Structure formats: C-alpha cells, structure tokens
C-alpha cells in the first residue's frame, strides 16, 4: 500500500468562515460560501505510511469532527509543530485515539513544546487509565531540529521554522515535507528542503502578514526549492479556492479539508 497524507484541515487559526457575519453564520471574506472547498477547519494532517501506521500532526480544536469526517479511527503517534491554541486545543479527544490503539500515544515535539503542553494539559501526562482512557494519555518524546526520528514506523526528519512569536517544527519524510505556521525559513532549513517532490506549506493570505507566510513569499520559496507539487494550507478568508485554482502558477494549488495527497 502506498503511503498518503490526509489533510484533516487547512484553515487559519479562526477557521473559514470566521465566527460572525451579518446573519451570524460566518464571515467569509472573499471566499465564496457556495464552494465547499472554502470551508476550512484548523490546520492538521495525518501521514499514513505504507504499512498503514499513522502519524497525526497536531491536535487542533476541530480534531473530533476531522477524524470522523476523514475516517481516521486510529493513529500510532502524534507530532506537535508548536503550541498555539489552533494546534493543540483538541487534545482531549486524543482519549478516543488511546482507546482504539489500546495504549498511551507517543507525542513528539521540542522540549519547549512538550513542557508547555504538560503545563496546559497536565492530566494528559499522568499515568494512563487504560483500558478505559477516560482522559487522554501521552508519553512525551523530546526531539531536536536537524535530526531524524522514527515515528509510527516512518523516518521523519525535523527542521526549525521561524513563526516570529515562537519557533515551530517542520517535518520531512522522503521527498514530502509539511511546513505549517512559518513566516521566515532559516537557511539551514532550506538545506533540508532540497530535492522535494511534494510540499504542504503555510500561506495565510495574499497580503504580507507578521507571523505567517503569504502568497508572494511562498512563491519565492517555491522558486528556490522547486518542489514538483506545492499545496497551500493554513489559509484565511482572503484565499478563495476558485481564485487560487485559476491564478496560482503551475505546480502550486490550494488544499481543501479531506484532500488526499499520495506520499512520493
Ligand atoms: Zn496555526
Ligand atoms: Zn501558530
């Protein structure tokens, strides 16, 4: 079985639509509400290896719905890019994943990330209540950028990204890489991104943004790294799916929730 990536969500921190709007049913910005691919939950992916084992990347506030919608009932490990609320606030639903796995889940992240998680979700790091798992159970595995680790049976290379308000981790598996929540790419991380086939990358909007990559910047990165396929994620209400479909250069495309991407 070839490996694949399931894009659970590709929205910005407030999702699309944002809460609000004249009728209270959402603020869509320039996104067409009639286009289903404009409805975006918070950014997260699942990477499924050739043997069927799965690595979940982040546990955002939409995790429960995302797992059900994408048919993901079981994962083998969790990778945390950083601890912003839109990437961790679904952590309580990890107890459902503990139940299906029947075990504590290894959680990978920097020491800073894991300490912050433990401070905010202390109960998830206590001894587990297996087999009922009435609370989530994570086993922390601190990792360092620049190194390669085995996660869910896959070799994962980790690299540093600059998100201004905090450092985030990008990850690479073979010729696939995932880079959410990044505004500047450190030189040493460009080196890790050479020879990529498929890249899923943060692109919040078309205009410059202080902590997220924007369209022009991503296109400059793409010119430099030259992946065969680039897929934009973490998109806000400025990123209409049809507009992007018509205007992005060849090889660059928007993600949508539920999108399946084959692992190269
Ligand atoms: Zn985010
Ligand atoms: Zn963030």
Phi/psi of residue 243, nearest 5 degrees: -60, -45
Return the bridge partners of 28, or none. Answer: none
| Rounded distance from Cα 213 to ligand 2 centre (Å) | 11
pLDDT of 260 above 90: yes
| Rounded distance from Cα 262 to ligand 1 centre (Å) | 23
| Rounded distance from Cα 51 to ligand 2 centre (Å) | 31
| Rounded distance from Cα 165 to ligand 2 centre (Å) | 8
Residue-wise pLDDT for 67-124, tens only, equals 999 999 999 999 999 999 999 999 999 999 999 999 999 999 999 999 999 999 999 9
| Rounded distance from Cα 86 to ligand 1 centre (Å) | 5
Ligand nearest to the CA of 13: 1
Q: What confidence tier does 231 reach under pLDDT thresholds 50, 70, 90?
A: very high
Q: What confidence tier does 2 reach under pLDDT thresholds 50, 70, 90?
A: confident
pLDDT of 22 above 90: yes
Taking a C-beta distance cutoff of 8 angstroms, is the pair 230, 208 a contact? Answer: no
- CA 219 from centre of chain: 20
Q: What is the mean pLDDT of residues 174-201?
A: 97
Q: What confidence tier does 1 reach under pLDDT thresholds 50, 70, 90?
A: confident
Q: Give CA–CA dist 103/11, Å, rounded.
A: 30
Taking a C-beta distance cutoff of 8 angstroms, is the pair 22, 46 a contact? Answer: no
End-to-end Cα spacing for the chain = 12
Ligand nearest to the CA of 10: 1
| Rounded distance from Cα 166 to ligand 2 centre (Å) | 8
| Rounded distance from Cα 146 to ligand 2 centre (Å) | 20
Q: What is the mean pLDDT of residues 238-242?
A: 98
Give me the sheet containing 138-142, strands edge to edge.
138-142, 105-109, 77-79, 54-57, 44-48, 4-9, 260-262
Ligand nearest to the CA of 61: 1
Burial of 78-108, coded b for 16+ CB within 10 Å and e otherwise, reads bbbbbbbebbbbbbbbbbbbbbebebbbbbb
Q: What confidence tier does 36 reach under pLDDT thresholds 50, 70, 90?
A: very high
Task: Tell me what the pLDDT averaged over the chain comes to.
Answer: 98
Ligand nearest to the CA of 163: 2
| Rounded distance from Cα 29 to ligand 1 centre (Å) | 18
Q: What is the mean pLDDT of residues 122-139?
A: 97
């Amino acid at each position: 079985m070839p490996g694949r990536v399931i894009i659970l969500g590709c929205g910005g921190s407030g999702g699309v639509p944002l809460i609000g709007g004249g009728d209270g049913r959402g603020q869509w910005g320039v996104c067409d509400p009639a286009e289903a691919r404009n409805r975006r939950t918070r950014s997260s992916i699942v990477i499924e290896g050739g043997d069927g084992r799965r690595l979940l990347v982040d546990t955002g506030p939409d995790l429960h719905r995302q797992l059900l919608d994408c048919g993901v009932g079981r994962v083998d490990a969790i990778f945390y890019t950083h601890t912003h609320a839109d990437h961790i606030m679904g952590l309580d639903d990890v107890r459902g994943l503990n139940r299906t796995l029947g075990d504590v889940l290894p959680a990978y992240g920097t020491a800073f990330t894991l300490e912050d998680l433990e401070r905010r979700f202390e109960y998830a790091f206590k001894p587990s209540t297996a087999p009922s798992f009435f609370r989530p159970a994570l086993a922390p595995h601190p990792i360092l950028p620049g190194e390669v680790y085995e996660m869910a049976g896959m070799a994962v290379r980790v690299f540093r990204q600059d998100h201004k308000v905090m450092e985030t981790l990008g990850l690479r598996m073979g010729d696939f890489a995932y880079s959410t929540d990044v505004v500047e790419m450190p030189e040493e991380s460009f080196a890790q991104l050479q020879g990529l086939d498929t890249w899923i990358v943060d692109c919040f909007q078309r205009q410059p943004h202080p902590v997220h990559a924007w369209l022009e910047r991503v296109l400059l990165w793409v010119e430099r790294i030259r992946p065969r396929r680039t897929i934009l994620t973490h998109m806000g209400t400025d990123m209409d799916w049809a507009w992007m479909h018509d205007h992005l250069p060849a090889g660059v495309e928007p993600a949508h929730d539920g999108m399946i991407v084959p692992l190269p």
